[in-house]
């Protein structure tokens, strides 16, 4: 029921109470129905002050919007279809990011510009707020160049399931860029902007970084605040930087990382009060001689793995050894079960969060009420327009919920804890893990669309990436080779909050190699 303009919630009728009781499995007599209606009316009356009391202002609305030029949908000036909205929002006149143009995935709020999340059902939703990561970029001098195309509701790893059309891979326009941050991979790789922000719930920063040949970092869970970002699953959500160079990724991370709090009040429940940013730019010049890398054997040789990918990443390990990094093979058998753990969490978690308007319950952070209202409207009137991957998720989640309640989610969470322990045991002895980011190179674009084949095939894109969303470890994709003209990404994974180590290793690799010639 909607809150009316005079801040009065609706009241249930006896028919409402009877219908709700039947749905919940309560057998009520006529007298009990009347009694519970009276109790419900009293309880709802007690809620009304919350609808008219001024709520906490997190300060996310910028002071002025009149200086922001009107955005537009690009046409002939966007050959890759990487952008949904082009604009120019100037940041501070000076700062560490002065002169750097940044594209923002279209699930991240920029005040005054439409946020679609790649879906027609959100067209016309114009946030009044800047996401915290956006305001931090602007404060450090960056210029926001526009909102980047993405898979509808971030529900694909391929790059051709946006309601605004497929994005092309800049290395081969007949191939896909990866997703769900498809435009965030394609645009900086093509030189359309200097860097980009993406979001990553299963690999959505790292997959397009791998396929487009750029650097992409999924930070440690909670290091970068997600305030003002469309959530998909609160325990899996990450926001991360993407750029053609390690140095630029480090600069963006240094800008956007750290505790998001107002007057000492945390806005993002993912963050602990002790979270802070390191000097990531300084780290990229660090000497890596004497560091150690564990080459994770279970990341290679999947049924769908391309030999060219496996060979390129093993060659990368050999290159690390050439400049003083000790590389040894290790086994973490549970890595292969990470996809299953992720699927259990994502399936029920994503569906429940959508039902909850993207706000969810049982957390203490700031709640984006305007987004919640819009998502509720979508579920009431346009649910059939949700993308195929989301429909699959909701069908499976509904079945699991009916048959098993929340147990599959709980099982996935517990496997995730075991998986974290397994990775941590290795990372106590080594400085990083190394494995292919994606087990294949960029998929070919196709106009034919077989639903089962398409949604089954895309699962291969997340085999190596999604386990680290479950465990929260930082993971960075760095381009390591380009066999037959298609980039391959090598993924470095570190201990919690050890982004500096990953950046230093990636920067050393970048300095010592010409990956496009490999």
Q: State how beta strands 143-148 and 101-105 pair.
A: parallel
Count Cβ neighbours within 10 Å for each residue of 208-217 and write b for 16 or more, e otherwise. bbbbbbbbbb
Helix axes 338-355, 369-381, angle to 10 degrees: 90
Determine the Cα angle at 133 with ends 165 and 252, to 5°. Answer: 90
H/E segment holding residue 185: helix 182-189
CA distances from 129 to 64, 113, 134, 215, 361 (A): 11, 10, 10, 28, 22
Q: Based on the residue annotation, tell me whether 180 is a catalytic residue of this protein.
A: yes
CA distances from 277 to 8, 258, 512 (A): 44, 5, 27
- Contacts of residue 509, Cβ cutoff 8 Å, sequence gap at least 6: 316, 319, 320, 478, 480, 490
Determine the Cα angle at 443 with ends 516 and 156, to 5°. Answer: 115
Choosing from 180, 181, 305, 477, the catalytic residue is 180
Q: Based on the residue annotation, tell me whether 93 is a catalytic residue of this protein.
A: no
Q: 256, 228 in Cβ contact below 8 A?
A: no
Q: How far apart are CA 473 and CA 220, in angstroms?
A: 5
Give the SS3 label for residue 414.
helix
Choosing from 105, 147, 218, 482, the catalytic residue is 105
Q: Based on the residue annotation, tell me whether 19 is a catalytic residue of this protein.
A: no
Choosing from 135, 184, 204, 477, the catalytic residue is 204
Residues assigned a catalytic role: 105, 180, 204
């Amino acid at each position: 029921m909607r809150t009316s303009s005079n801040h009065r919630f609706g009241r249930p009728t006896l028919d409402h109470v009877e219908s709700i009781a039947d749905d919940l499995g309560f057998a009520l007599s006529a007298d009990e129905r009347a009694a519970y209606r009276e109790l419900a009316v009293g309880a709802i009356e007690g809620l009304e002050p919350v609808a008219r009391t001024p709520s906490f202002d997190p300060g996310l609305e910028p002071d002025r919007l009149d200086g922001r030029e009107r955005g537009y949908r690009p046409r002939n000036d966007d050959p890759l279809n990487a952008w949904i909205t082009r604009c120019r929002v100037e940041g501070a006149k000076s700062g560490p990011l002065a002169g750097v143009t940044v594209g923002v995935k279209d699930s991240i709020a920029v005040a005054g510009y439409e946020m679609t999340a790649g879906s027609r059902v959100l067209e016309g939703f114009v946030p009044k707020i800047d996401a915290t990561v956006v305001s931090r970029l602007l404060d450090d001098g960056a210029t926001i160049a526009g909102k980047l195309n993405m898979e509808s509701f971030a529900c694909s790893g391929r790059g051709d399931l946006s309601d605004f059309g497929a994005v092309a891979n800049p290395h081969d326009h007949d191939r896909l860029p990866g997703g769900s941050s498809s435009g965030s991979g394609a645009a900086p790789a093509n030189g359309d902007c200097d860097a980009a922000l993406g979001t990553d719930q299963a690999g959505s920063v790292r997959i397009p970084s791998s396929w487009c040949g750029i650097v992409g970092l999924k930070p440690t869970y909670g290091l970068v605040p997600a305030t003002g970002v469309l959530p998909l699953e609160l325990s899996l959500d990450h926001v991360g930087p993407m750029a053609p160079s390690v140095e630029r990724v480090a600069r963006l991370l240094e800008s956007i990382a750290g505790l998001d709090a107002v007057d000492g009040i945390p806005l993002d429940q993912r963050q602990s009060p002790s979270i802070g940013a390191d000097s990531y730019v300084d780290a990229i010049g660090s000497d890596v001689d004497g560091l150690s890398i564990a080459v994770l054997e279970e990341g290679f040789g999947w049924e769908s793995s391309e030999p060219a990918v496996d060979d390129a990443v093993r060659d990368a390990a050999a290159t690390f050894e050439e400049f003083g990094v000790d590389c040894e093979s290790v086994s973490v058998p549970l890595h292969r079960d990470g996809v299953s753990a992720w699927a259990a969490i994502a399936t029920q978690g994503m569906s429940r969060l959508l039902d909850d308007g993207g706000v969810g319950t049982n957390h203490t952070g700031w709640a984006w009420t305007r987004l919640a209202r819009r998502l509720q409207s979508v579920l009431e009137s346009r649910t059939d327009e949700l993308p195929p991957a989301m429909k699959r998720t909701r069908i499976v989640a509904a079945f699991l919920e009916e048959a098993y309640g929340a147990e599959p989610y709980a099982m996935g969470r517990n496997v995730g804890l075991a998986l974290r322990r397994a990775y941590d045991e290795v990372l106590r002895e080594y400085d990083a893990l190394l494995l292919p980011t994606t087990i294949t190179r960029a998929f070919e674009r196709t106009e034919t669309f077989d639903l089962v084949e398409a949604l089954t095939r895309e699962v291969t894109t997340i085999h190596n990436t999604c386990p680290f969303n479950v465990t929260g470890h930082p993971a960075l994709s760095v381009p390591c080779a380009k066999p037959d003209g298609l980039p391959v990404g090598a993924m470095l994974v570190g201990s919690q909050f050890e982004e500096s180590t990953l950046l230093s290793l990636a920067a050393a690799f970048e300095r010592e190699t010409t990956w496009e010639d490999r």
